[in-house]
Amino acid sequence: MKAFMIERYGDKADLRAAELPDPQVGADDVLIRIHAAGVNPLDLKIRDGAFKAILPYRLPLILGNDLAGVVTRVGPAVTRFVVGDEVYARPGKDRIGTFAELIAVHQDEVAIKPATLTMPQAASLPLVALTGWQALVERAHLRPGQKVLVHAGSGGVGTIAIQLAKQLGAHVATTASTAKLDLVKELGADVVIDYKQQDFATILHDYDVVLDTLGGQTLTSSVQVLKPGGRLISISGPPDAAFARELGGGAVLRLAMSAMSFQIRRRAKRRAVPYSFLFMRASGDQLRELTALIDAGKIHPVVDRVFPFEQTPQALAYVEQGRATAGKVVVSMM
C-alpha cells in the first residue's frame, strides 16, 4: 500500500511517500480501505515530537488521525461490521496512520459513516467531534440553560463544539476573527467575540464551562470568565496528573505533569474552578451517538479544502501555515 510517513521527529521532518506491506488484521480488527483522511494540528504535534515522551511511537511512522472508508476484511472476532460497510473512525492513539491506502482498526473504534455525508465530509469529523463530545457531554455534563465559551469557534473543534453545545441546550459564546463572525453565528453561537477587536475576559462573566483550544494566555484569561464551580477544559494547555493516569503512567510521570499544570491549576483553584486537560480517545460508541445527530441535520461538518492524496505533504503544510479559513482540511484518496 502507499502511505505518507516520517522517519524522524522535528518540524523539518519530511513527510514522504512510501510503499509498505498491507496492515495485519487482528481478531477484533476491521481492515479499511481509506477514501479520505482528516488533517489535524495533532499530526503536526506528533511529527514535531511533542508527545514522544508519553506516546512512544516507533519510527518510521505513518501520520494521520481520522478517516472514512470501506471495510474490506474483518477479523474472526468482529461482530459489528461486514465487508462493504462504509465507516468512519478515529483510530486509537497507539494505532494511528490514516495517511495511507489501508488501515486496520479495532472494531470498538469504528462506526458506520453518516449516510448524509460524503467520504471527505465524514473524514473531517471523528477527531474533532469526539473531542467536543468528550469535553461537553462526558466531562462537563453540559445541561440546558448553562453557559459555555468555546474558543476559536471557526476551527475544526470549534465548529463542531458550537453545534453540539446548542443541541445540548446551552447558551454558547465563542471567539473568532472578524472574517469568521458570520460563520460562527450561523453555527449557532449566541455571543460572538471578535478577538481582534475585543477582550473576551472583560465581556463574558459567570460561565459554567470553557472549552479552550488555544492554550497560552487565552487559557489563563479564561479562568476569570467562569463562575465558582465552573469547569475549565483544555485540549491545548499543559497536561495534568489525571492525564498521566489515563496513560497508565507511574508516579514520576504523574509528578511531571502535575508540575507542568501547576500554575493554571493554582489560578483556577483560587476561583474554585477545576482545570482538566483533555486528550480525546477513540470511541465507536460515541461516534454512533454523533452520527444520529448528523443524519438528523443537527450537526454538519465544515470543510475548508480537500487535497488529493498525492498532495498530503502540501495539505499538512497548508494547516501548519494557518491558511485554512474555517473547519477542517481533508485528503481524498478517490
pLDDT, tens only, 118-153: 999 999 999 999 999 999 999 999 999 999 999 999
C-alpha cell at 181: 463572525
User: Does the residue 288 lie in any domain?
Assistant: no
Does 39 lie in the same domain as 27?
Answer: yes
pLDDT at 280: 94
For the chain, the average pLDDT equals 95
* Residues 35 and 116 placed together within one structural domain of the fold: yes
Q: Does some domain include residue 283?
A: no
Please state the domain count of the chain: 2
What gap in Å lies between CA 97 and CA 89, rounded to an integer?
12
Q: What is the 3-state secondary structure (H, E, C) of 100-152?
A: ECEEEEEHHHEEECCCCCCHHHHHCCHHHHHHHHHHHHHHCCCCCCCEEEECC
Identify whether the C-beta of residue 105 lies closer than 8 Å to the C-beta of residue 76: no
pLDDT score, position 56: 80
Residues 144 and 244 placed together within one structural domain of the fold: yes
Cell numbers given for 110 = 469504528
290 falls within a domain: no
Based on the domain organization, do 116 and 145 belong to the same domain?
Answer: no
Q: Are residues 120 and 143 in the same domain?
A: no
Is position 287 within any domain? no
Task: Give pLDDT tens digits for 234-278.
Answer: 999 999 888 888 888 788 888 888 888 999 999 999 999 999 999
- Residue 309's domain comprises 2-125+301-332
* Same domain, yes or no: 144 and 212: yes
Please tell me whether residues 307 and 256 are part of one structural domain. Answer: no
Query: Looking at residue 247, what DSSP letter applies?
Result: T
Residues 137 and 48 in one domain: no
Residue 292, in any domain of the structure: no
Contact call for residues 110 and 86 (beta carbons, < 8 A): no
Query: How far apart are alpha carbons 139 and 267 in whole angstroms?
Result: 20
Shared domain for 46 and 153, answered yes or no, is no
Same domain, 144 and 268: yes
* 176 within domain boundaries: yes
282 domain-assigned: no
Examine the domain organization and report whether 142 and 247 are in the same domain: yes
pLDDT digits (tens, 9 = 90+) for 171-223: 999 999 999 999 999 999 999 999 999 999 999 999 999 999 999 999 999 99
pLDDT in tens, 288-305: 999 999 999 999 999 999
CATH code at position 78: 3.90.180.10
| pLDDT at res. 244 | 83
pLDDT of residue 188: 98
CATH classification of the domain holding 164: 3.40.50.720
Q: What is the pLDDT of residue 184?
A: 98
Give the residue among 297, 164, 126 at the shortest CA–CA distance from 174: 164
For the cut 80, the answer to whether the pLDDT of residue 161 exceeds it is yes
Q: Is residue 255 part of a domain?
A: yes
Same domain, 260 and 316: no
Report the pLDDT averaged over residues 6-17.
88
Q: What is the pTM of this model?
A: 0.96
The answer to whether residues 307 and 315 touch, using CB atoms and an 8 Å cutoff, is: yes
